[in-house]
């Protein structure tokens, strides 16, 4: 680990890789399914099943990727090599040679797994480049700021070029943008920061399961952090999954969707410095809990919204967007502190921990989709002629259920004792 004080330049250079990472993640979830159904001509049901299977496979192997990153090579080398496979997979996923299900499955697997091989070591570098908890926070906030900037850019580009309604043109436009910016940012990131990574000699050589079991035996109190993280992620994933439905069917403001998203993400960027200062004064855990309480307070008004309530929902988007910054960066900063704790006791399993946290994040997204769409299926949900029961279900799943999950996450956090 670097023994010098972390420089602002290092914090900036670490964060900028978040832009292409956001670019690579966002299009896959938003445009890819529609593209393969509308333009390639594959069945919507089979496309859904294939993407679900590939994401589940990707989720399951995340901790093993983390274990691999701990034992073999350096994090920077893994990120650089995996990026080549990622761009290769993404290119042929968006530019298929054969229009069939096997092609979608093969290049989805290559793309998702390569993405995980980039993301997990990138996240774990947070604890490797830093020397203390304050530096962990700076790196985490830098990364999340640039990720949000990347999401905003990827949201705006199809609208700027007037292709947002066409999944094929949107995907191609985002692909060409990635092919330009990703190699440039990756090269700067690799050349400027690689020398700061010193390979830790205290790596535990156990397999993933044994490493994780040993971790929970030695640090049982951290289980509460994992549960809080899962519940809070699930609470965030449900509104993300149902956002388009809520705006379209409850507010009936589909044309304002992009504006709501811009308000949400811009609010997050603006308030990042406030959360950093606050976390230094009252602790990361207390700041995270405060941000959750504020988000719950704002979201408690959502069930009372009705058709045409643009102004009120815009305010809610702004307030919850402000909380997004804390919700994204503080948990990962605390996770970096936990990883550092294992390194200080010569039990370094940084990659395993960040791989496990990545798996929890993907699990929460999968659970959110499952809970949302299965519940709506029972209400006889129809896009063309939506019934009142489906609307009530969307309101409950979008706002009330996430509030309950966030309250549970607060309970776990209050019981969680942060170790120094």
Instruction: Compute the distance between CA of residue 363 and CA of residue 359 in angstroms, rounded to an integer.
Output: 6
Query: What is the CB neighbour count within 10 angstroms for residue 247?
Result: 20
- Give the pLDDT band (50/70/90) at residue 207: low
Separation in Å, CA 213 to CA 51, 66, 207, 208, 210: 31, 15, 10, 9, 5
Q: Say whether pLDDT at 56 is over 70.
A: yes
CATH number of residue 380's parent domain: 1.20.1250.20
Joined together, the tokens standing for residue 112 give 């998702």
129 and 146 together in one domain: yes
**Residue 387 pLDDT > 80:** yes
User: Could you say which of 143, 165, 199 is where a domain stops?
Assistant: 199
Shared domain check, 31 and 79: yes
Same domain, 129 and 219: no
Cα 244 to chain center, whole Å?
Answer: 18
Is residue 417 left, alpha or beta, with left meaning phi > 0 and alpha meaning psi from -120 to 50?
Answer: beta
pLDDT greater at residue 177 or residue 276: 177
Total domains present in the chain: 2
Residues 38 and 180 in one domain: yes
Are both 114 and 242 inside the same structural domain?
A: no
How many angstroms separate the Cα of 134 from the Cα of each of 41, 120, 275? 51, 21, 12
Instruction: Find out whether 241 and 368 touch, Cβ atoms under 8 Å.
Output: yes
Q: Are residues 242 and 308 in the same domain?
A: yes
Residues 60 and 91 in one domain: yes
Residues 91 and 231 in one domain: no
**Could you tell me the residue range of the domain that residue 228 belongs to?**
207-420
DSSP state of 131: S
d(CA 272, CA 231): 23
pLDDT in tens, 346-373: 555 677 777 787 788 888 877 887 788 7
Tokens 């609208």 correspond to what residue? 159
Whether 182 and 309 map to the same domain: the answer is no
Q: Which of 165, 199, 233 is the last residue in one of the domains?
A: 199
Q: Which of 164, 199, 234 is the last residue of a domain?
A: 199
Cβ burial, residue 233 (10 Å; 0-12/13-18/19+): buried
Q: Give the pLDDT confidence score for residue 1 in this predicted structure.
A: 45
Q: Within this chain, do residues 191 and 215 fall inside the same structural domain, yes or no?
A: no
- Statement: residue 2 has pLDDT above 60: no
194 and 322 housed in the same domain: no
Beta bridge partners of 348: 203
Do both 243 and 154 map to the same domain?
Answer: no
Instruction: Tell me the torsion sign for CA atoms 66, 70, 71, 72.
Output: positive
């Amino acid at each position: 680990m670097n023994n010098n004080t972390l420089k602002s330049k290092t914090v900036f250079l670490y964060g900028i890789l978040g832009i292409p990472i956001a670019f690579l993640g966002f299009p896959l979830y938003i445009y890819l399914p529609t593209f393969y159904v509308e333009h390639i001509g594959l069945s919507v049901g089979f496309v859904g099943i294939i993407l679900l299977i590939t994401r589940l496979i990707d989720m399951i192997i995340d901790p093993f990727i983390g274990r691999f990153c701990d034992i073999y090579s350096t994090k920077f080398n893994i990120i650089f090599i995996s990026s080549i496979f990622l761009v290769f997979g993404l290119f042929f996923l968006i530019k298929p040679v054969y229009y069939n299900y096997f092609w979608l499955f093969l290049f989805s697997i290559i793309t998702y797994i390569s993405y995980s091989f980039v993301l997990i070591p990138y996240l774990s570098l947070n604890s490797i480049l830093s020397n203390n908890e304050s530096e962990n926070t700076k790196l985490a906030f830098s990364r999340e700021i640039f990720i949000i900037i990347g999401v905003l850019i990827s949201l705006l580009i199809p609208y700027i070029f007037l292709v947002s309604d066409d999944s094929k043109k949107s995907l191609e436009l985002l692909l060409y943008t990635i092919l330009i910016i990703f190699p440039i940012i990756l090269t700067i990131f690799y050349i400027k920061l690689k020398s700061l990574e010193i390979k830790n000699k205290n790596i535990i050589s156990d397999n993933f399961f044994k490493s994780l079991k040993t971790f929970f035996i030695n640090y049982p109190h951290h289980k509460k952090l994992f549960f809080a993280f899962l519940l809070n992620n699930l609470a965030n994933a449900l509104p993300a999954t149902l956002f388009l439905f809520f705006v379209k069917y409850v507010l009936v403001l589909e044309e304002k969707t992009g504006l709501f998203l811009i308000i949400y993400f811009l609010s997050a960027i603006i308030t990042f410095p406030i959360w950093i200062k606050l976390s230094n004064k009252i602790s990361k855990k207390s700041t995270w809990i405060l941000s959750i309480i504020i988000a719950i307070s704002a979201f408690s008004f959502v069930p009372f919204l009705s058709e045409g309530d643009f102004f009120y929902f815009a305010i809610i988007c702004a307030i919850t967007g402000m909380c997004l910054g804390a919700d994204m960066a503080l948990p990962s900063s605390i996770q970096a502190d936990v990883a550092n704790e294992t390194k200080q006791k010569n039990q370094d399993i940084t990659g395993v921990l960040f791989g496990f946290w990545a798996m929890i994040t993907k699990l929460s997204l999968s659970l959110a989709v499952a809970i949302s769409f299965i519940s709506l299926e029972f209400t006889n949900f129809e896009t063309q002629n939506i019934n009142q029961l489906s609307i009530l279900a969307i309101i409950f799943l979008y706002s009330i259920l996430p509030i309950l999950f966030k309250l549970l996450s607060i309970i776990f956090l209050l019981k969680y004792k942060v170790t120094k």
